[in-house]
Amino acid sequence: MVVAGSTRRAAAPARSGNRSSAIDGIRGLAALALLTVHVAMFSGLLGTKALGTPRPPTNFVGAFFVSGMPSFIGVMFVFSALFLYLPFAKAIISGTRRPPQRANLVRRLLRLLPAYYVMYLVVLLTLNRDAIDGVWYVLRPILLLQVYLPSPFVPNLMNGMEITWTVPSMVQWYLALPLIAWASHRFAARGVTPAIRARRLMVPVPIMITIGIGWLFFVKARGWDNRIVFWWPQGFAPTIAIGMALAILLALAQVSPNDTSRMLRAAAAHPNRFWLGALVVYFVNCARPFSVIGMDAIYSVSGLLVTYLMVALFGLLAVLPLISPNTRSHAIKTILGTRPFAFLGRVSYGVYLWHFAVMHFYLQPGSVLSGHAKPLRELYGTCGFWQLEIITVAGTVIIASISHYLLERPLAAWSERYLRDDRRAVAVRAALPPAVPVTLAPGTTVMSLDEASAKAAGTVTDRDAIQANLVDLERSFGHQLLAGAALTGHTKVRWDAAATDLTTLWEISRAYSAVVDEAIQILAGARHPSTSELARITGLLTGPSIVVAGTPAPLAQRHITDNGRQRLAVSTAIQRMNDLFAGIAELVSAAETVWTEATHKLDAIGAELAQARRHAEEFADAALATTLAAADAELQRLRHMVGTDPLTMWQDGRVTATELDRLRQHTTAAVARVQQFARTQDGAPA
């Protein structure tokens, strides 16, 4: 088993140097592992119950180690989902428009389908020619229906195409993931910070995991073939969900580095621990819990469930260190980054496509001329494992290399050239809604290229500073306390207004960022911008190009066309954001100061009262007990007030300590009375 949609170099994050080679390397290792599994199946190294009489493995030790290799399919599915979903996640988390679909889908289908159709044509004419019984026999694989027809519940694939169940599955996920991003966008975009938007984007992840596990039990309850669990797209929903989750975490780390998840930080700091965890998962699969060690199928429901979950977990643990920012690992350089593994990763899609056909060609060479081939299960055990392994690896790598250099890579280069202009045009249009034109005010001079570049660079610096300061504001102690407390009174009124202002501040910031991004994209997309492009940049950076939603004016003052939207120039937007930021920061700082100072004083008073109570237990003085109880009640009241309505203690830019000072006086008097009793009891004069 192996996934069809393996991604190329340009798709991966942080793909430079050893990181790039390592991602290719693990894909190559996965392709080799999955090829070995299938060789072991048909050479007899793995035992089987599928041929009537159970046949034990020919070598128990070898069968044990090969039994765990299906775990590597998790790597392939996780990578495919991660790289496909990452652009959507990054756009939603950063508050910009989701990337266009057409170019991305065309690019991926060109990587996937032409090589698949070439392989299909070859095996149709060489291994299945005599089996053609009508148009539908030929059309089913072309329409990617081979896992559903003629019977959707009894797998029956063509010779040489036994593994291509993943092509329909991945094409359907190519279509489904953008739809999931679209469905999640509105809910996620309401989050006021990148971290909140990322958390909201995670909502589909547990749902998809539940769907995948539910599908397994549904298939087994119906008594369908075990392969149906994996062959239909929902079968790998948990592994796809893990890839989506990693894409979200990685996008958040790229948009807001301060919010990088603990899991990514841990994987970057201790990558070998994660790979050790993946190794443990591999050995669990080797042991086949609740099933039979060394056999080619997993027969019990519990055994199938364990393998199902282990595949997803292996993909998570193996991929995390490779995509986490700033990972440093010697293993990446010395193992996965080596040229053989990197090369094997680059041709891994061809290895996936062709290794079954190569086994057929070797085990029954006469079928190439006759057009009549037997299914591989009828050739079970007719060739030793190492002989079939060496021939299959060598033949597959040769054919995969030819496919890569003569078909896949030229098509990828052509698609990039074909889509470049369209991608540039879409990127320019994406930042602002098309219904909001940007025009120059009368008398405005179009900036030169140098002026536009300098102005854009300045706005980028401002944009980055704004985002950094907003993150600092939301990560501040005062903001976290206000946002998490059950506020009351004056503080609740002021914080509700400040929270609304903070939402507005983020909306203006996102609109401002979109304008800056568009200006930068125009400059980056054209070596010599045209006059119209420079005019567009001038309008963006000097005119009222920032559009933000708002509340219409009161009815008596409203114009008939007023829809609440406001158009701001860059300088006006910055001033508006600064005013909002200053008010919120002042409120947050005031609350934080009250919490810090008042809590320190209340803690000191509480410590004195606790000491006084311990000594007062020796004396039976009703007045003293009443005084201490009243002081303790007042202490608890003030603690509650500081926690829920701290701004009642803030006046004229400082903490008002009137009530605290009064409580301190009562506490001091109680402590003095306790000390007086102690001295009297010791015989000293009062």
pLDDT of residue 151: 66
Q: In this model, does residue 8 exceed pLDDT 50? A: no
- Given the structure tokens 């392994």, which residue do they identify? 389
E-assigned strand segments in 352-420: none
Amino acid at 59: N
Measured CA to CA, the distance from residue 1 to residue 39 in angstroms comes to 11
Measured CA to CA, the distance from residue 6 to residue 90 in angstroms comes to 20
The pair phi, psi for residue 655, each rounded to 5°, is -80, 130
Per-residue pLDDT of 505-516, as tens digits, reads 888 888 888 888
Torsion on CA atoms 329, 334, 339, 342, rounded to nearest 10: -40
- Given the structure tokens 């889509």, which residue do they identify? 419
Per-residue pLDDT of 515-571, as tens digits, reads 887 787 777 665 667 777 777 778 777 777 777 766 666 666 666 666 667 777 888
Q: How confident is the model at residue 370 (pLDDT cuts 50, 70, 90)?
A: confident
- Given the structure tokens 């496919």, which residue do they identify? 403
Which candidate, 374, 379, 371, places its Cα nearest to that of 128? 371
Amino acid at 313: L
Q: In this model, does residue 428 exceed pLDDT 60? A: no
Q: In this model, does residue 206 exceed pLDDT 90? A: yes
What DSSP designation does 70 have?
A: G
Q: Which two tokens stand for residue 288?
A: 């086949």
pLDDT of residue 5: 39
User: Quick one: 555 exposed, middle or buried, by C-beta within 10 A (0-12, 13-18, 19+)?
Assistant: exposed
Q: Which two tokens stand for residue 181?
A: 């991003």
Element (H, E) at 567: strand 566-568
Which candidate, 213, 245, 219, places its Cα nearest to that of 311? 213
Q: What is the DSSP string of 643-678?
A: HH-GGGGEETTEE--HHHHHHHHHHHHHHHHHHHHH
Which residues contact residue 243 at a Cβ distance below 8 angstroms, ignoring those fewer than 6 apart?
77, 78, 79, 80, 81, 82, 84, 85, 315, 319
Per-residue pLDDT of 461-482, as tens digits, reads 888 888 888 878 877 877 877 8
Lowest mean per-residue pLDDT among 230-244, 427-441, 665-679: 427-441
Measured CA to CA, the distance from residue 92 to residue 99 in angstroms comes to 10
Q: Which two tokens stand for residue 56?
A: 């034990």
End-to-end CA gap in the chain: 91
User: Quick one: 360 exposed, middle or buried, by C-beta within 10 A (0-12, 13-18, 19+)?
Assistant: buried
- Given the structure tokens 């026999």, which residue do they identify? 137
Instruction: Collapse the DSSP code of 47 into the 3-class scheme (helix H, G, I; strand E, B; otherwise coil) and give the result.
Output: strand
Mean pLDDT of 62-73: 89
CA dist list (Å): 600 to 437, 485, 603: 56, 19, 5
Which candidate, 171, 192, 160, places its Cα nearest to that of 84? 171
Measured CA to CA, the distance from residue 172 to residue 23 in angstroms comes to 24
E-assigned strand segments in 392-435: none
Amino acid at 62: G
Beta bridge partners of 568: 546
Strands 546-548 and 654-655: unpaired
Task: Report the chain's mean pLDDT, rounded to a whole number.
Answer: 79
- Given the structure tokens 């997803």, which residue do they identify? 312
Instruction: Collapse the DSSP code of 71 into the 3-class scheme (helix H, G, I; strand E, B; otherwise coil) and give the result.
Output: helix
Strands 650-651 and 654-655: antiparallel
